[in-house]
Amino acid sequence: MKDVKIYGPGCKRCETTAEMMRAAAAELGIEVQVEKVTDMAAIARAGVMSTPGISVDGKLVHAGGLPDPEKLAGWLQG
Protein backbone atom coordinates (compact mmCIF):
# COMPACT_ATOMS: atom_id res chain seq x y z
CA MET A 1 0.00 0.00 0.00
CA LYS A 2 1.27 3.44 -0.96
CA ASP A 3 1.19 6.19 1.66
CA VAL A 4 0.18 9.47 -0.02
CA LYS A 5 0.03 12.80 1.78
CA ILE A 6 -1.60 15.89 0.30
CA TYR A 7 -0.29 19.07 1.91
CA GLY A 8 -2.48 22.17 1.85
CA PRO A 9 -4.98 24.30 3.75
CA GLY A 10 -7.99 22.36 2.45
CA CYS A 11 -8.65 24.51 -0.62
CA LYS A 12 -10.42 23.30 -3.76
CA ARG A 13 -7.07 22.58 -5.48
CA CYS A 14 -6.02 20.38 -2.56
CA GLU A 15 -9.31 18.48 -2.69
CA THR A 16 -8.97 18.03 -6.46
CA THR A 17 -5.38 16.80 -6.05
CA ALA A 18 -6.51 14.16 -3.52
CA GLU A 19 -9.28 13.03 -5.89
CA MET A 20 -6.80 12.83 -8.79
CA MET A 21 -4.45 10.63 -6.73
CA ARG A 22 -7.27 8.29 -5.69
CA ALA A 23 -8.52 8.01 -9.29
CA ALA A 24 -5.02 7.32 -10.66
CA ALA A 25 -4.42 4.65 -8.02
CA ALA A 26 -7.77 2.98 -8.77
CA GLU A 27 -7.02 2.99 -12.50
CA LEU A 28 -3.64 1.35 -11.85
CA GLY A 29 -5.01 -1.11 -9.29
CA ILE A 30 -2.71 0.27 -6.59
CA GLU A 31 -3.91 0.47 -3.00
CA VAL A 32 -3.34 3.91 -1.48
CA GLN A 33 -3.92 5.59 1.81
CA VAL A 34 -4.45 9.31 1.17
CA GLU A 35 -3.96 11.63 4.13
CA LYS A 36 -4.64 15.35 3.99
CA VAL A 37 -2.20 17.45 6.01
CA THR A 38 -3.61 20.89 6.80
CA ASP A 39 -1.42 21.96 9.72
CA MET A 40 0.79 24.79 8.43
CA ALA A 41 3.73 23.83 10.67
CA ALA A 42 3.62 20.24 9.36
CA ILE A 43 3.40 21.53 5.79
CA ALA A 44 6.48 23.69 6.33
CA ARG A 45 8.37 20.81 8.00
CA ALA A 46 7.68 18.68 4.93
CA GLY A 47 9.40 21.32 2.79
CA VAL A 48 6.26 22.41 0.94
CA MET A 49 6.56 26.09 0.05
CA SER A 50 3.61 26.19 -2.33
CA THR A 51 0.44 24.13 -2.02
CA PRO A 52 -0.86 21.68 -2.83
CA GLY A 53 2.09 19.41 -2.12
CA ILE A 54 2.22 15.66 -2.58
CA SER A 55 4.43 13.06 -0.96
CA VAL A 56 4.41 9.38 -1.84
CA ASP A 57 5.92 7.00 0.71
CA GLY A 58 7.64 9.89 2.48
CA LYS A 59 9.18 11.46 -0.64
CA LEU A 60 8.00 14.92 -1.70
CA VAL A 61 7.17 14.64 -5.41
CA HIS A 62 5.18 17.82 -6.12
CA ALA A 63 4.51 21.29 -4.77
CA GLY A 64 2.41 24.12 -6.16
CA GLY A 65 -0.65 23.93 -8.38
CA LEU A 66 -2.50 20.94 -9.72
CA PRO A 67 -0.20 18.07 -10.70
CA ASP A 68 0.18 16.90 -14.28
CA PRO A 69 -2.13 13.86 -14.57
CA GLU A 70 0.49 11.90 -16.56
CA LYS A 71 2.96 12.18 -13.68
CA LEU A 72 0.61 10.66 -11.10
CA ALA A 73 1.08 7.11 -12.41
CA GLY A 74 4.86 7.45 -12.31
CA TRP A 75 4.81 8.66 -8.73
CA LEU A 76 2.52 5.83 -7.67
CA GLN A 77 4.47 3.15 -9.51
CA GLY A 78 7.90 4.47 -8.49
4: left (phi over 0), alpha (psi -120 to 50) or beta: beta
Pick the catalytic residue: 11, 40, 42, 66? 11
From the list 5, 6, 7, 14, the catalytic residue is 14
Active site residue 18: no
Strand order, beta sheet including 59-63: 32-37, 2-7, 53-56, 59-63
- Is residue 52 annotated as part of the catalytic site, yes or no? no
- Positions marked catalytic: 11, 14
